[in-house]
Amino acid sequence: MKRELNANNPDESNTGLKVSNNELKALGVNDVEILVNFSRVANGLLKHNVMDKTQILANLEALIDDPMPYALKKGGKFKNLAEDVIALRKEGKFVKQERNNFKLKEEIADFPVWGIEHIEVGALAQMKTAIQLPIAVAGALMPDAHQGYGLPIGGVLATTADEDDLFDVIEFLHDHCSKGLDGYYHSWNQCGYHYEKFSDQDGQKHFREVLNPILKEYLNGFEISDSGEILMLSDNGLSTLFEADIPTSDNENIKDKINSSILKFRRHRSTLEDRKEAVRELADVLEFLRPEIKKYLNKKDENDIFNIANNFGIRHHNNEQKTDYDRAIWYSWIFYFYLATIHSVLRMTKKNI
């Protein structure tokens, strides 16, 4: 029987690390609601130094493969998560699936290198990894090449890719970049620093600081989140709704559903159906909060909130629904309206406790 892998002496360096959504997706966790639950458990264990990141991911991979041993373990850290997975599979959901991360090519294609005697080993290793990306066509290293954050500085990579491929690679590089901390300076031929200790967190932070201003100018604007996902920027003046704390301790009925909705709405691949589902989830949160809404809104405003959800093709599908509107504009408007209403109700509730 499989057992949980525990850290006898958790490393204090876990503090500040994070199990990213992309790492969970690589295990086959693709549904947003399930992703939120996995992320909460994984990062909770990491935050409190119960296990290190490698052990957490190993346990989650084993749980997805066979959740029963984890569900049977009394007091186990993954017991509730395993029970959720078993329940979902009984409904035909979250079936075991192949990992969705792309694989590097097995063979390393040849690429020209100029001044190889002056190029540090780390830069050469990075270029060999880059040339193995499935979208890579050709590459080259210039005489001044040195180690960078994913692709070496002075490295050239030709690719055949559409927007989704490009964003996949950016997310991949974010998850695999690191920043040198401790090392020594090699002065010969202005070689530079050779690092021996690295920080993934600092490297990813710097990666976002460099890439996000560029992504912001692309089309309607994007950004790399702290978890390494490329998300659409919010409309002007509304970003605080995504950044604001959600003042509730109810994760299952409120906080997780809000976070799931925001992720569905903002993902760079989100479709109109994804955005409709995001609005529906917020409507469900409002329904849960309806007793509180009655305390703070007048009857007409309360009715209008639920009239939108119930009669405009969001929660129901019948001939009585009013659907003659521009869905892209309308979904965006009602999403922000619902999200702002939830924040307002939660804050008024907290203020009056």
pLDDT tens digits, one per residue of 183-219? 877 776 666 777 778 888 888 999 999 999 999 888 8
Query: In the prediction, which pLDDT does 194 show?
Result: 76
Distances (CA, A) of 93 to 14, 87, 283: 32, 9, 23
Query: In the prediction, which pLDDT does 277 show?
Result: 93
Query: In the prediction, which pLDDT does 96 show?
Result: 59
Per-residue model confidence as pLDDT tens digits over 111-123: 898 888 878 777 8
Per-residue model confidence as pLDDT tens digits over 285-339: 999 999 999 999 899 999 999 999 999 999 988 999 999 999 989 999 999 999 9
Alpha helices in 50-162 (DSSP H): 53-65, 68-72, 79-90, 121-130
Q: Quote the CA–CA distance of 54 and 227 in Å, as a whole number.
A: 17
Helix (H, G, I), strand (E, B) or coil at 142: strand
pLDDT of 101 above 70: no
Average pLDDT value for the chain: 84
Q: For the chain, percent helix, then strand, then coil, each to nearest 5?
A: 50, 10, 35
Query: In the prediction, which pLDDT does 32 show?
Result: 73
User: Which pLDDT band holds residue 2 (cuts at 50, 70, 90)?
Assistant: very low
Per-residue model confidence as pLDDT tens digits over 43-56: 889 888 888 888 89
